[in-house]
Amino acid sequence: MKIINIQNLFLKNIGLKQTVLKNTFWLVLAEGISRLLEFVLIVYIIKILGAEEFGKFSFSLAFASIFVVLSDFGIADITTREFSRDPKNEKEYSTIFSSKILLSIGAFILMLIGSFLITPDLVIQKVIWILAIYILVSDFFFIIYAFLRARQKMEYEAGIKILRALITLTVGFFILYRCPSIGNISYGYLIANLIALTLVLLLVYFYIYKIKLSLDRTVLQKFFKFSWPLGLTAIFGAIFLNMDSVIMGYLGQIAENGWYGAARRIISFTIIPATLVLASFYPVLSKLFEESKEKLQKVWDYYMESMIILAIPITVGGLVFAQKIIDFIYGTDFNPSVLAFKILIFTTGIGFICNPYMIILIVSNHQKKYLLVSLIAVIANIIANIILIPRYSLYGASIASVITNIVILLLGIEFSRRFVAISIFNLKLFKTMIVAAISSAVMFIAITQPLVYNLNILMIVFIGMMVYFLSILCIYKFFNKFKSLGEIHLFYRVDKK
């Protein structure tokens, strides 16, 4: 009986809360394992190649990443939304998959042309070509994830992510220890992902959905009608995420690009919790938008509370332990990355709070408003990078990222307030913010004590997490007790009257 109950809990969709919890569990497991393996691999790549060579790798990857969004153009998000609302739409998946292939070919041609314009270095050009194919192959996984998320079967997505990470790690380490170079490592990423994608497509075809190659003009028109704002938004997002590295590479700041890329890799690791929470809530929010505004508000509040609870301690911890984190992961040769990391950690905290405001615009069919926010943000980012990078190099790029995230947050709040029929901030969220701030202060006091501060960084992180979440539990318990006492006092006064 217990085994059956466990299977139902982790492998079946029974109710709203259970489904969100189940999906979150599998995504946490998959992201935790896959991102950790990917992070370990990139750390060893940075250590073995050094800042200069890794700077070339980062520049090539950043340039190729700007074009990869053309191979999706927002279709994956719309696929999840439309399929989760009506499972009958799954019959359109073959057309969506086929269009993905055509878009990928077009994106590669643009990457190829662009590589000749951005750099005269033949080695970097070749690396751009290899990484372009690798990124396009990698992006195919997201159209598969979109289908699985619509069915709210994140356990399948979890298996795929872990498989892909294991293959990439194995191939990557083999190349690092046998013939390390940015060219060979690029080939390693490509080969590993080709193997993983082939296996996954076979598994999907035989056990989940028989994908066929077909193009239905009506289906394409329907999806592109919804997805083009998200597609342009993705382009703007790619420019925002990669323009700094591209500008530094173009200006010849290769070592600086390596130090900046090293700090950015850790920042990417810190945003994993936000990715996990979003993947669990997005299908549910999409469904509830059609069914119940009251439940939509409730679930959106849960989403925002989660982001607040995660954002504050991560930002505080990053600021306090920037030096120890960089030294532990990369060594003292990457000391220039410390200040960049301290600045960039604010993008994590701000980004967490941004997410709920931006996602509710997509869920409520305000993709064009989402697009406008992204357009303004990317213009602000380009201007800030052009002004700051020539003067302050990687630190200027870091400041530009923070400025851009603040712009996105302010616009996201304003657009959500004006165009979405939900309360974007209420007493419940204010209470959560106060609790998170107090708990973070308690955590700060605990981890800055010499007895804790001088420990290994992993031990410090563990102790900080324990102190933070125990503080939250204690404060919430106090609030509930205080509320109960207030109710008893109120009833006493009423009875007395």
CA proximity to 403, closest of 389, 425, 384:
384
CA-to-CA dists, residue 398 to 158, 192, 271, 395, 476, angstroms: 32, 32, 16, 5, 36
- Distance between CA atoms of 138 and 167, rounded to whole angstroms? 13
Half-sphere exposure of 223 (CA within 13 A, CB side): 29
For 34-71, the DSSP string reads: HHHHHHHHHHHHHHHHHHHHHHHHHHHHHHHHHHHGGG
Q: How far apart are CA 270 and CA 257, in angstroms?
A: 20
Gyration radius of the chain over CA positions? 23
Sequence spans of domains, the chain: 2-425, 430-497
d(CA 330, CA 44): 9
Element (H, E) at 346: helix 337-363
Check: CB of residue 252 under 8 Å from CB of residue 333: no
Side-chain-facing half-sphere of 226: CA atoms under 13 Å: 18
In the chain, what are the helix, strand and coil shares in percent, each to the nearest 5? 90, 0, 10
Cβ pair 270, 314 in contact under 8 A: yes
pLDDT score of 345 more than 90:
yes
In tens, the pLDDT along 459-487 reads 888 898 899 989 888 887 776 665 544 44
**293-312 confidence digits (pLDDT tens):** 777 788 888 888 888 998 99
Closest C-alpha to 18, from 30, 31, 29, 5 = 5
Q: Are 74 and 231 in contact (CB under 8 A)?
A: yes
Q: How is residue 81 written in tokens?
A: 């939304």
pLDDT digits 0-9 by tens, 256-268: 888 898 898 888 8
Q: Lowest-confidence range among 268-277, 359-368, 473-482? A: 473-482
- Determine whether 443 is exposed, middle or buried from the number of CB atoms within 10 Å of its CB (0-12, 13-18, 19+): buried
Q: Residue 406: what pLDDT?
A: 93
User: In terms of Cα–Cα distance, which of 110, 139, 104, 115 is closest to 63?
Assistant: 115
Q: Is the pLDDT of residue 430 over 70?
A: yes
**Residues 6+ positions from 77 with CB-CB distance below 8 Å:** 146, 227, 230, 362
What would the pLDDT profile of 214-263 be if each residue is shown by its tens digit? Answer: 777 777 777 777 667 767 777 777 787 788 888 888 888 888 888 898 89
Exposed e or buried b for every residue in 279-297, given b needs 16+ CB within 10 A?
A: bbbbbbbbbbbeeeeeebe
The C-alpha atoms of residue 316 and residue 436 are separated, in whole angstroms, by: 11
How large is the greatest C-alpha to C-alpha distance in the chain, in angstroms?
Answer: 88
Q: Round the average pLDDT of the chain to a whole number and report it.
A: 80
DSSP class per residue in 294-328:
HHHHHHHHHHHHHHHHHHHHHHHHHHHTHHHHHHH
Give 493 or 325, the one with higher predicted confidence: 325
Residue listed under structure tokens 């003292």: 332
Q: What is the DSSP letter of 151?
A: T
For residue 380, what are the contacts with CB-CB under 8 A and spacing of at least 6? 403, 404, 407
Distance between CA atoms of residues 42 and 46, nearest Å:
6
What DSSP line would sit under 368-398, residue for residue? HHHHHHHHHHHHHHHHHHHHHHHHHHHHHHH
**Which pLDDT tens digit goes with each residue over 115-128?**
888 778 788 888 88
Whole-number Å distance between alpha carbons of 409 and 373? 9
pLDDT of the residue at 493: 43
Say which range, 6-15, 161-170, 202-211, has the weakest mean pLDDT.
6-15
Cα separation, 299 vs 38, in Å, equals 32
* pTM of the complete model: 0.74
